Chains A and B, each alone.
Chain A
Amino acid sequence: MEQFVVTTIRLSAPLIFAGLGGLFSVRAGIFHIGIEGLMLAGAFATVAFGTATGSVWLGILGAIAVNLILSFVYWLLIDRFGADMIISGLGLTTLCVGGAAFLMNALFNKRGSMTSAVRLPQPVVGPQEGLLAFVSELSILAWLLPVFVFIVWLLLRRSRLGLQIAAVGEYPYAAEAAGVDISRTKLIAMLITGLCCALAGAELSVGGLAAFSENMTNGRGFIALAAILFGSLEPIRTTLAGLFFGLADAVGINSQIYAGESNIPRQFILMIPFIATMIFVTLRGAFAHRRHSGG
């Protein structure tokens, strides 16, 4: 049970960081398909800067810097040059996938994968008794997740910036009439997305692991985007959706381990996370429909 909880948190953490980061852009009216690429860039930059400097914190700072630059470029493309946000987002992801592979080879003479010289501290490690067993081997970033969720909630729901972002996304003309600088607000939202994706990438590469490999995000950026949509663009619901996806993955992992040599076909066991997701989506849709019908 303890291992199941730890697995769920570890698999959810990158999704929640990226999902909550992406929420800023999506609420500002930018369907940020480049989250996948920004996560990968964050994962690589953390390992690269961390290995070069010998400090995981400098690694994360480097990753944040890289993602802020990439986010700024993405903003330039769609806001200043009028590029299509979906196509540019895909381009951003492709650039990050290729760029990480290229730089890994050029800077570290490694291809495919590389190990990291640094790793995020884990406040509790090894076998534990009682409640501590539920948080053993979680990185410091995973520990800080509740604080992070609270800050995001505060920013989006209780701050002037959050209201401006929502206004720009939902009623851009009204926001403009009220004196909100739409371009500037979008830029801030996208920079926050970049920052959060850097944390998501860092959690992936130096949270549980101490390594980077090409395509290691493996679609998690898109899952984070799905979590935003399932969470109805709300921070707490997005967090819960991220937790659900992590939980579904953890169920898949544990059902494989504990099904053992049973007579349940392997294909069925591997389908469990997808079946759980479909049930979740259906139930959520049904409840939303009922609530809507009920007025």
Chain B
Amino acid sequence: MKIFTKRIMRLLLLLAVFALAMGLGQAQDDPVRVALVATQAAGDNGPIDGLIAGLDMAAEEYGVETQFLEALDPATFELTLRNLARTGVDIIVSTFYAMGATSWLIAPDFPDTTFITIVGLPSGDEQPDNVQLMEYQFFEGAYVGGVYAAHLTESNQLGYTGGVPLPFAWADFNAFTDGARSINPDIETTAVFIESFEDPVKGRELAAGLYSSGVDFIFTGAAASDIGVVEAASDNDALVMVASAPLVEQAPANVAILVLIEWEKTIMQEIEMALDPETRGGFRYGNVQSGEISFHIPEAFLEATSDERRAKAEASLETIEQLIEDITNGDFVVEEDNQERMAADADGG
């Protein structure tokens, strides 16, 4: 009986050692888990679709295990992040400012998890080591767009249609104005706001109003409302600058330039930084210099537009390329001004 018990004990010990070894081995082989939590729905032809594509690329490039979630109700932000962290997700990528503040709040409770927010700002003095934030300097792109628009406008009147008058929208509009006036100081610009990022009907009416007032080139940055603005450009045979590639198909003769945020590149870079303890955490800007804002004059536009406009677009290329190079090298800095300019300020600058 004693021998039998000993044998059983040995067997159990052996099994325990084996199980432990298997467990450790598995722990070492476990891929890093990355979750993307989006605060707006997928299918926006914009940020979220770009980030999902980048997440897939990261899975292939870095061998990480990925998952995608939508958290559309701000009341669920904290719970979503906490639950993901509790289930052992190593890197949680979330979107936009409110998520940045939530990550900042709960990060100290989960020191082994990295909380990345794409388009987020520090919300306190001391940033937790495991919080990683970035924001775009899209106004640099707006400045280049303004330079391009100045080459194409005939009426010297440019317009901007935004979603809501937030500081980033003013920064974009002011940079667009500055870019245009760097080529022609007599150019006048008008900003209007749709007061919604998903009202193409009102977007169309605002843009139609701008075009009928003499504007012949609009820079639009109003997400889903942009469809209406592009429609108005098509109806009025006018020009428009957009930040979403699928809009080119809608009006190839009118979408004169695309200024794109390279969301795929951003999420890849953020995950790569989070994987390396040396570069994990911190705050950075995504801009022309980092290659996360790019410019494209669509081939479809050059094919479909009038000879005169094509000639103007091609003539501007040298200036645009030089400007992009100067911004990339740091030889030229686009000033950020995120306040509404009153008439007196505008005259002065």
Q: B209 to A216, Cβ gap below 8 A?
A: no
- Contact of B342 with A209 in the complex, beta carbons under 8 Å: no
Closest B residue by C-beta to A257: B209
Q: Which residues of chain B have a CB within 8 Å of any CB of chain A?
A: 41-45, 49, 165, 188, 190, 192-193, 195-196, 198-202, 204-206, 208-210, 212-213, 224, 227-228, 231, 235, 249-250, 340-344, 346
Residue from B42, B165, B250 in contact with A266 in the complex, judged by beta carbons closer than 8 Å: B165
Closest residue to B206 on the A side, CB-wise?
A253
| Residue interface bits A197-219, CB-to-B below 8 A is 1, else 0 | 00000001000111101111010
A11 to B201, CA, bound (A): 8
- Chain A residues, Cβ within 8 Å of B196: 218
Q: Does A249 contact B (CB under 8 A)?
A: yes
The answer to whether B340 and A253 touch across the interface, beta carbons within 8 angstroms, is no
Known contacts A209-B231, A261-B343, A263-B344; A7/B201 CB under 8 A: no
Given the contacts A213-B200, A216-B198, A256-B193, A11 and B205 also touching, CB distance less than 8 Å: yes
Q: Which of A3, A210, A266 contacts B208 (CB 8 A)?
A: A3
Name the B residues within 8 Å of A125 (CB-CB): 235
Output the nearest chain A residue to B210 by Cβ-Cβ distance. A257
Contacting pair A266 B198 (CB below 8 A): no
Q: A11-B201, A209-B227, A256-B193 are in contact. List 16 more A-B contacts (CB 8 A).
A: A3-B213, A7-B205, A111-B41, A112-B224, A208-B208, A211-B231, A213-B200, A253-B206, A257-B206, A257-B209, A258-B213, A261-B190, A261-B346, A262-B343, A267-B165, A270-B195
B190→A260 contact, CB < 8 A: yes
- Contact partner of A111 (CB less than 8 A), chosen from B44, B190, B198, is B44
Q: A112 to B44, Cβ gap below 8 A?
A: yes
Instruction: List 10 interface pairs A-B (beta carbons < 8 Å), by A numbering.
Output: A11-B201, A11-B205, A111-B43, A137-B208, A208-B231, A209-B204, A253-B202, A263-B343, A266-B193, A270-B195
**Is A157 part of the binding interface, using a Cβ–Cβ cutoff of 8 Å?**
no
Complex Cα distance, B42 from A260, in Å, reads: 36
Please tell me which one of the listed residues A10, A112, A270 contacts residue B205 in the complex, with CB atoms under 8 A apart.
A10
Give the distance to chain B from A265, nearest Cβ to Cβ, in Å: 8
A113 at the interface (CB under 8 A from B): yes
Shortest Cβ distance from residue A247 to the other chain B in the assembled complex, whole angstroms: 12
Contact across chains for A215 and B44 when beta carbons are under 8 A apart: no
Write out, one digit per residue, whether chain A residues 213-250 have a CB within 8 A of any chain B CB (1) or not (0): 11110100000000000000000000000000000011
Given contacts A11-B205, A249-B202, A257-B206, contact A115 B227 (CB under 8 A): yes
| B208–A7 touching, CB < 8 Å | yes
A110 within 8 A of B: yes
Distance, CA A253 to CA B201, complexed state (A): 12
Residues of B within 8 A of A111 (CB): 41-45, 49
List residues of chain A with CB within 8 A of the CB of B193: 256, 266, 270
- The answer to whether B343 touches A253 (Cβ under 8 A) is no
Q: Which of A112, A211, A254 contacts B43 (CB 8 A)?
A: A112
Whole-angstrom distance between the alpha carbons of A234 and B312 in the complex?
56
**Across-interface contacts of B198 in A (CB, < 8 A):** 213-216, 218
How many residue-residue contacts, CB under 8 A, span A and B? 114
- A3–B209 touching, CB < 8 Å: yes
Chain A residues lying within 8 Å of B231, measured Cβ to Cβ, are: 208-211
Quick check: A261 and B341 within 8 Å, CB to CB? yes
- List residues of chain A with CB within 8 A of the CB of B340: 265-266
Given the complex of chains A and B, what is the CA–CA distance between A257 and B202 in angstroms? 13
Most chain A beta carbons < 10 A, residue from B42, B205, B227:
B205
Interface: A183 (CB within 8 A): no
Question: CA of A128 to CA of B89 in the docked complex: distance in angstroms?
Answer: 62
In the complex, whether A105 has a CB less than 8 A from a CB of chain B is: yes
Q: Are B43 and A208 in contact (CB under 8 A)?
A: no
CB contacts (< 8 Å) of B204 on chain A: these are: 208-209
Contact indicator A7/B209 (Cβ below 8 Å): yes
Check A216/B201 contact, CB under 8 A, given A111-B43, A266-B340.
Answer: yes
Closest-by-CB residue of A relative to B215 is A257
User: Which residue among B42, B202, B213 has the maximum number of chain A CB atoms within 10 Å of its CB?
Assistant: B202
- The distance in angstroms between the C-alpha atoms of A214 and B44, with both chains bound, is 10
Looking at the assembled complex, report how far the CB atom of A49 sits from the nearest CB atom of chain B, in whole angstroms.
19
Q: Determine which of B190, B195, B200 lies in contact with A257 in the assembled complex, contact meaning CB atoms within 8 Å.
A: B190
In the bound assembly, the distance between CA atoms of A211 and B198 in angstroms comes to 12
- With contacts A112-B44, A263-B343 known, is A209 near B202, CB below 8 A? no
Residues on the A chain within 8 Å of B200, using CB: 113, 209, 211, 213, 216
Beta-carbon nearest neighbor of A127 in chain B:
B212
Question: How far is the CB of B260 from the nearest CB of chain A, in Å?
Answer: 16
Asked whether, in the complex, the Cβ of A214 is within 8 Å of the Cβ of B201, the reply is no
**Residues of the A chain whose Cβ atoms lie less than 8 Å from the Cβ of B341:** 261
**Given A256-B192, A266-B340: A211 and B209 interface contact (C-beta under 8 Å):** no
